[in-house]
Chain A
Amino acid sequence: MQFFFHNKSNRVWLVLIIGLMLFNIWNIVVNTPMVPDQHWAQKIFYVHVPSAWVGFLSYFIVMVAGIMYFIKGDEHWDKVGLAAAEIGTLFISLVLITGPIWATPIWGQPWIWEPRLTTTLILFLIYIGYFMMRAFGGHAERVKRYAASLGIIAFVDVPIIFVSVKFWAPEIQSHPQVEMTSQPPGILIPFLLSLGIFTVLYRLMLKYRIHVIQVNYKRVADV
């Protein structure tokens, strides 16, 4: 099996994304305006929201891969599902870390059961179960089907969890910065840029991870 970065287009993408990411950080730190009463804390949103977007997108891909695995029975979709689950959990962890970092100075405490963060936390716990199933479930071939079905029900559950958590503690507001579309262009444009760069980064990460999983499977199967 070929080394992932022997492929020229992958190399080009890697260099491009490193460049874009450096530009993104510089842009966020230097160019974006300060929000009056939040100062530096607000800037974490340029990372927090794109991470959440990529995380949920990734879990959506886990569901799609699960459905495709059942319809086609093709091993490839299992690898896509596993790769997306791993990367999704990475970004969801970032959301759960950056959220409290923002909340500590603004709300005075790291965690107040804000509905979006709560939904994310519940989803994170479901995915810990998912990886436990992958690790402790038994025969790898059997576990693939269980993992695919878990990926499907986890994402199907997301809207239900979100609605219930939202009405559970209505006195807690969603964080105001999430309504990014109503922001002035000075904030909106760098934000959308960051969102785009994170998505491109995610695409390369997913491709790389699928490649690694394929190589690993081959190695185990050859022994």
Chain B
Amino acid sequence: MNTSGTRFSPLRRLYLVAIFAFLYIPILVLIVNSFNASKSRTVWTGFTLDWYRRLFSNETIITSLINTLAVALIASVVATILGTMAAIGLHNMKRITRSLVINLTYMPILNPEIITGVSLMLLFVSLNISFGYLTLILSHISFCVPYVILNVLPKLRQTDRSLYEAALDLGCTPMKAFTKVIIPEIMPGILTGFLMSFTYSIDDFVISYFTYGPTSQTLSITIFSMTRRKVSPEVNALSAIIFLVVLSVLLIMNLREINAEKKTRMAVSAAIRNESKSHKHEHAADSNGGGE
């Protein structure tokens, strides 16, 4: 067990504090400014919630928020279905074809976003598809699918083939054995892939920038046009809200993870204690090995 955290020298602590100050001070300034009555970014003239009120009555922002969520939902659902099917198919392919396809799948992740965006733009221009929801959703699906495949494939590799065969022996049809055995096994991978797709889609700017149409503005695109104007305090208010949302999502996820880890750790140590009590000599070494 790692206990060196208690021996942290002040210098090391100071270093971490400095790094986190660097990461958070700019965000903090935005949040403070969102309550500033003055339009100026550096003169404090009093507390106000006016910018928030304006933000919620700003139709462009509300529409683009709805667009963002709709595009993210559609794109990640389609990407999850497409990617899961692809992963299952790839898992059962010959090794050479599989590694070829996987390498091609990596392309959109390895390529700079601007290249992916530009290449998709060229595709839509060549096919004469006008830019709008369709091009935006197709592009988002394209950059989301790889994340689903790369999360589901390892889970498929971990599944035990004999479980599936056992289900067949016990009278399941292949379809039933598949839905009852394989799907539950790979579900965590599918979920992670879906969540990654959803968050990447919400956060994306560069690819959307090259593939959106005048009617399909996402939040990122709206923020872009807002930051181009010199002063727009609504952006500050929006930042504060986004920060709060992200913070709460991450906190919930982390607390759950830490709790789960604590529980397993307690269970393991309880098991070790019980084991060593009942078979003091024979099994002590074994259970210690399991507890590490």
B is a partner of A: no
Chain A residues with a Cβ under 8 A of chain B: none
Chain B residues with a Cβ under 8 A of chain A: none
